[in-house]
Structure 1
Amino acid sequence: MTTSNFSRQKIYQGVMYLFLVVIAFVSLFPFFWMVVSSTNTTADINQGKMSFGTALIDNFTKLSQVVDLPQIFWNTTKVSLLGTFLTLVIASLAGYGFEIYQSKLRDKVYNLLLLTMMIPFAALMIPLFSMMAKANLLDTHWAVVLPSVASVYIIFYFRQCTKAFPKELLDAARVDGVKEWQIFVYVFFPVMRSTYAAAFIITFMANWNNFLWPLIVLQTPDMKTINLVLSSLSSAYVPDFGVVMIGTVAATLPTIAVFFAMQKQFVQGMVGSVK
């Protein structure tokens, strides 16, 4: 390698690192500002203070006084875990079936499912609300969970990942007389652990951060999720931004913890790793 080529490579690497630093700063700054603001008073936040303050405990105390934190977090966790579990079961079964089993109508049905992704949720809200009302599920957590369990995107994701699944394992299991449901539970599931982990993170975060549909179907305070409560706090006539920020930090921590706990499996699942 000549000196000029080496210098150009160093300059290129330096520019790339500088670009990545800028992008990282832009991405992380809102989180930094959120954490800093949770330690300051509303007056300090309005003045644009960017250093840590001493109002963290006071903000948390005020939040605990106006919000039943255990109940709200239980509601959000219940909706998120239940919705994630049902979505993974249904989507993985559908993705597995679309890829493994042959049928003349398979691709037509699958393409029809993909077309439904083009329908905006705003066009589905009124029909879904009517369905929930007729089923007497309004103001229940089932009304939040059920419309999202058959996620077309997660079905698509599982089918694409199933393409990398070694079909020889299926043939060997069938030769040994293993039933189809046993193949799915004892052969497919263990091999596709990383795929399930990635789908779990995606689905859990989507359910945890869901706002519009719970806002429509949940009416009583005892049933509301953390996002609805934070929205009501920030929409007050004189909002206490310190309380809003400490609530936002508390609402963000579970998703961060889930992501970092399953980060390795998430990366393996997104790149299509099969073990």
Structure 2
Amino acid sequence: MERKSASLYKWLATLAFALISFIALFPILGLIISSFRSSSELMRNGMSLTFNLSELNINNYSYIFTQASEYWNWYGNSLIISTLTIVLSLFFSSMVGYALALYEFKGRNVLFVLVLFIIMVPFEILMLPLYQLMINIQLIDTYFGVMMPLIVAPIAVFFFRQYALGLPKALMDAARIDGCTEYGVFFKIMMPLMLPSFAAMAILQGLNSWNNFLWPLLVLRSNDMFTLPIGLATLLTPYGNNYDVLIAGSVMTIIPIVILFLFFQKYFVSGLTVGGVKG
């Protein structure tokens, strides 16, 4: 009887989550369908899930691939910035979180409290000081100016620290006895054990960087340096709204994030689960 009840609860839970997932996909499905509509059709009926096959076409995508050279320039900028942000953020944030978790030194707890404090401070409060800093060190309208606030992200440092707390210190001691340096201990012993946390943070940091709008809007000045969110926003002007190209371009922006998640999904759930608790 208990086995039947557990099986029923599992079936109901699966059905409920499937229904929630299906509802969550409605906006994306509406976006994809609307990307095959003409601008005039979008202005008349707006975005909807209902469609007539005779009214759908690939003209929007054809325009993007053949004539919208600026779009691919924005796409390339976003790919470069997001890729570098993921790599640098994982490298530096993991080292900081690892040190805060497994090394004993003066001020360690103070530094961790500062990390927590920065997490609690809204980014909008930090924007003006960061913007002034970018001006002073002449990083306005550069890739690094966009990436700098995300390279050592407080949330990533906190996540890696929590994950590293569960790593066995005995492995560190054994590696030191064998003559391994501290950098060797991290890169050869501990980093392979932290791969699930790297996968989870790669997805989260990549998503954050790819969708980042406000900070690049402040730092970037020239059209050639715009990222996708900013570039797509420029399609909406008082003199004309290119909703057809905007929607088709928005659908194309989903592809890298989907690929990133599919690539790291094997470790994503385990990385979040283990990294969220101590031990």
TM-score where L is the length of structure 2: 0.88
CA distance in 2, matches of 1:201, 1:101: 27
Pairing 1:119-268 to 2, within 5 Å after superposition: 119-235=121-237, 237-268=239-270
CA distance in 1, matches of 2:90, 2:10: 41
CA distance in 1, matches of 2:168, 2:11: 42
Q: Is the 8 A contact 1:96 1:159 kept in 2?
A: yes
CA distance in 1, matches of 2:235, 2:69: 9
Worse-matched range after superposition: 252-261 or 39-48: 39-48
Superposed displacement of residue 144, structure 1: 0.1
Q: Is the 8 A contact 2:29 2:49 kept in 1?
A: no
Superposed displacement of residue 123, structure 1: 1.2
* Count of aligned positions: 270
Equivalent in the alignment of 2:64: 63
Stretches of 4+ moved more than 6 A in 1?
Answer: 8-11
Return closer, same or farther for 1:249/1:56 CA change in 2, 3 Å cut-off.
farther
Superposed displacement of residue 245, structure 1: 1.2
Q: Is the 8 A contact 1:38 1:59 kept in 2?
A: yes
Return closer, same or farther for 1:170/1:13 CA change in 2, 3 Å cut-off.
closer
Superposed displacement of residue 231, structure 1: 1.2
Counterpart residue identity of residue 112, structure 1:
L
User: Structure 1: which 5+ residue stretches go unaligned?
Assistant: none
User: Structure 2: which 5+ residue stretches go unaligned?
Assistant: none
Counterpart residue identity of residue 247, structure 1:
G
Superposed displacement of residue 170, structure 1: 0.6
Work out whether 1:35 is the aligned partner of 2:37. Answer: no
Could you say what secondary structure the match of 1:146 adopts?
helix
Counterpart residue identity of residue 62, structure 1:
Y
CA distance in 1, matches of 2:120, 2:226: 29
Q: Is the 8 A contact 1:37 1:52 kept in 2?
A: no
Superposed displacement of residue 205, structure 1: 1.1
CA distance in 2, matches of 1:263, 1:11: 28
Could you say what secondary structure the match of 1:68 adopts?
helix
CA distance in 1, matches of 2:133, 2:253: 30
Counterpart residue identity of residue 213, structure 1:
W
Could you say what secondary structure the match of 2:180 adopts?
coil
Worse-matched range after superposition: 78-87 or 48-57: 48-57
Could you say what secondary structure the match of 1:272 adopts?
helix
Counterpart residue identity of residue 51, structure 1:
F
Could you say what secondary structure the match of 2:235 adopts?
helix
CA distance in 1, matches of 2:57, 2:165: 50
Return closer, same or farther for 1:14/1:272 CA change in 2, 3 Å cut-off.
closer
Counterpart residue identity of residue 19, structure 1:
A
CA distance in 1, matches of 2:11, 2:149: 48
